[in-house]
Structure 1
Amino acid sequence: MVLQFEAACGRRKKSILGVALSILALGSMLPVSADAGDAPSWLSTASASSTSAAVRAVKPRAELLDAQAQHDGVDTEHIFGFSMGSDIGKKGEIELEIENVGRFNRRAGSYTGVGVLSQVKFVLTDNFRVAPGISFASTRVSGVPDMIDNRRTAVAGASLEFRYKVLDRDVMPFGLTLHAAPAWNRFDELTGFDVQTYGSEFAALMDKELIRNTLFATVNVWYSGGASRDLSNAWSRDSEFSVNGAMSYKVGPDLILGAEARYLRAYDGLGLDRFVGDAVYLGPTFSMHLAHNVGLSGTWSTQVAGRAINDPRRLDLTNFERHQAMLRLNYLF
């Protein structure tokens, strides 16, 4: 501005008095042009840094608290294996999930059962999500006592999952989400034969961040029950109750490892009426990002304790399998 001022003075040949008046006018403008955030280029780097620090220092306390309360970036839903965290995603998100569950080994013979559930998840609000799904199943049975040899693969049925987040773990002592999933099946995943099954499952999913952005824990309580009609039109009813616990540790920006324990009880009757057996499963878990919008998670669980009613032998291999495994792929649109 000084150079422009001098050039203007030369061109217009202003008087000394005019020059003085111009200088006074320029001086009166300087405080306005030196406001914070619009510092002249001739200020030193140190002065600019000091100004920036001063601006940061006067931020409202509420704004700083909001910044500290931001989500840690870990979606806890699928970092615990079969167990699940309370996160459901953000409003407006659409996610494709393909979950593969394998069941292996009975007391004798050869047994393999694989179920595949494909879901599309729609997060309607920050607290509510709905997910329609279709399932496929494959069963291989050979030489298993009290089971008919069979090899079958087919479309199994359909389900509709609902989840409602009651407590947000970012602002409450722990997270809590309620889960319900009514389903219809035309294929018995246990035996591989045709059957009409109408049932549902319900769960309370709780989790907590023990060490910020590093260590996470979850506790789940599950109930499932259904009524089935076989080809002879005979009806049967059964139910299952389980309590799951797991912990997961973030070992890197894209990898989380952990361990899971599950206790399952099987019953005849929809209301947990007649106890028929129980099982305890233990296994490692993992969750990883293959890309910013693609996740892979899974677990391998082994039955380490349990007993079927009226069977003195160790483990319940009548109502449950020796091993259960899960591999899940998620794609966020």
Structure 2
Amino acid sequence: MTGSTRPTRRLSAAAGMLLALSVLAPAQAAPSGKADQGDAGKGEADKSSKENDKKEVDTEHLFGFTEGADAGEKGEQEAVIDTVTRIGKRRDGPGPSTYRVLDTRFAYQFNPIDKLSIELSAFGTLRRQRNIVDLDDKSYGTFDGVSMEVKYQFLKGSKEQPLGLALEVRPRFTRVLPVEGNGADIFDIESLLQLDVQVVPDKLWYGSNISFEPAAGRQRGGGPGYRSSTFLWSNALVGRVGENTYLGPEIRYLRGYEGTFLNRLESEALTVGPALHHRFTEKIWLTVAYAGQVWGRDTDSSLAGRALGLNQFERHNLRVKFGMEF
């Protein structure tokens, strides 16, 4: 009797163990499944967080000749090489005529606090002019002074608040008259109001500048005194055409005056052209812009009826600006 019951007991014990295992297995699998779901949920949350924390587009160099309102954050630094080529003036009589000036700026920018940038610049110029109305023939290259740019950003544009607004002041000492090319000691200070708007978040931006720049000094060698001033209103609209590439039109209206406080109008001009901005990496970028004069006039009575405002401005302007942040 005893011998006959041992197999039964063993079978019963084995069946009990299998039943227990079958009950425990789903219970153990359930926490594992929850953990997997938790990891997946965490991954989605991290991805969403990264998308939300994605850095806003820096508008400072986005618009070509027009400057964006962004000023950067505390501790940021930047090195810039900025070249503007000015081409074309009114011919003085028959024969070949040339007016070509390359103004290059080497700049270092840093941010001592959030929304405040300070930029120190040194300038060089290459010039060739021949057979131009009221200008002497010249061909040379030289050091052309220094400047400091101080910029404060009042509003930072974002998807939630699309308006950016900043004010920049640019005192500069220059050694060459910008149009004539004669040696001089000139001090000017440009005040620049900068505005930009995200028209379509992450896709389309509008930038606008209003500038007033008085200048005063004297030509070297006992030459006459120099007094002038310039008013500028520029506008640009650029869109994202690639992951890190931005392109759009730019239009500028300029007025050049004799006298430091917009005393007597000498020239006015309207320029139009494209602006391109590309980021090779998060820290390295390039901006290229062209501005061609499409309308203008000079107030000099001897130039009445002549097209364009070439007394103070050029036919063509090309800007190439390369920068590295660190």
1:299 aligns with 2:289: yes
Q: How does 1:1-333 map to 2 (within 5 A)?
A: 43-45=31-33, 48-49=36-37, 53=41, 70=53, 72-108=55-91, 109-170=97-158, 172-231=161-220, 232-309=222-299, 310=301, 311-333=304-326
Residue by residue over 1:274-294, the C-alpha shift from the partner in whole angstroms, topping out at 9 and shown as x without a partner, is 111100000001011223321
**What displacement does 1:169 show?**
1.2
Distance 2:175 2:149 in 1: 18
Distance 2:43 2:54 in 1: 25
Residue by residue over 1:141-184, the C-alpha shift from the partner in whole angstroms, topping out at 9 and shown as x without a partner, is 01111100000100000001000001111264411010101010
Secondary structure, counterpart of 1:49 in structure 2: helix
Q: Which amino acid aligns with 1:184?
A: F
Could you tell me which runs of 5 or more consecutive residues in structure 1 were left unpaired when the two chains were aligned.
Answer: 1-33, 35-39, 58-63
**What displacement does 1:191 show?**
2.5
Q: Which amino acid aligns with 2:323?
A: N
Secondary structure, counterpart of 2:113 in structure 1: coil
Equivalent pair of 1:113/1:189 in contact (CA under 8 Å): no
Could you tell me which runs of 5 or more consecutive residues in structure 2 were left unpaired when the two chains were aligned.
Answer: 1-26, 92-96
Equivalent pair of 2:64/2:289 in contact (CA under 8 Å): yes
Paired positions, count: 290
Equivalent pair of 2:246/2:278 in contact (CA under 8 Å): yes
Distance 1:194 1:55 in 2: 65
**What displacement does 1:73 show?**
3.1
Where in structure 1 do 4 or more consecutive aligned residues deviate above 4 Å?
44-47, 50-57, 66-72
Greater shift in the superposed pair: 152-161 or 168-177:
168-177
Equivalent pair of 2:162/2:199 in contact (CA under 8 Å): no
Q: Which residue of 2 aligns with 1:28?
A: none
Q: Which amino acid aligns with 1:182?
A: P
Counterparts in 2 of 1:101 and 1:188: CA distance versus 1, 3 Å: same
Over the aligned positions, Cα root-mean-square deviation in angstroms equals 2.6
Equivalent pair of 1:150/1:191 in contact (CA under 8 Å): no
Residue by residue over 1:106-132, the C-alpha shift from the partner in whole angstroms, topping out at 9 and shown as x without a partner, is 122210011011110001111111011
Counterparts in 2 of 1:52 and 1:308: CA distance versus 1, 3 Å: same
Residue by residue over 1:39-66, the C-alpha shift from the partner in whole angstroms, topping out at 9 and shown as x without a partner, is x886354663268649989xxxxxx9x9
**What displacement does 1:296 show?**
0.6
Counterparts in 2 of 1:274 and 1:123: CA distance versus 1, 3 Å: same
Q: Which amino acid aligns with 1:74?
A: V
- Alignment identity in percent? 27
Equivalent pair of 1:151/1:192 in contact (CA under 8 Å): no
Q: Which amino acid aligns with 1:88?
A: A
Secondary structure, counterpart of 2:311 in structure 1: coil
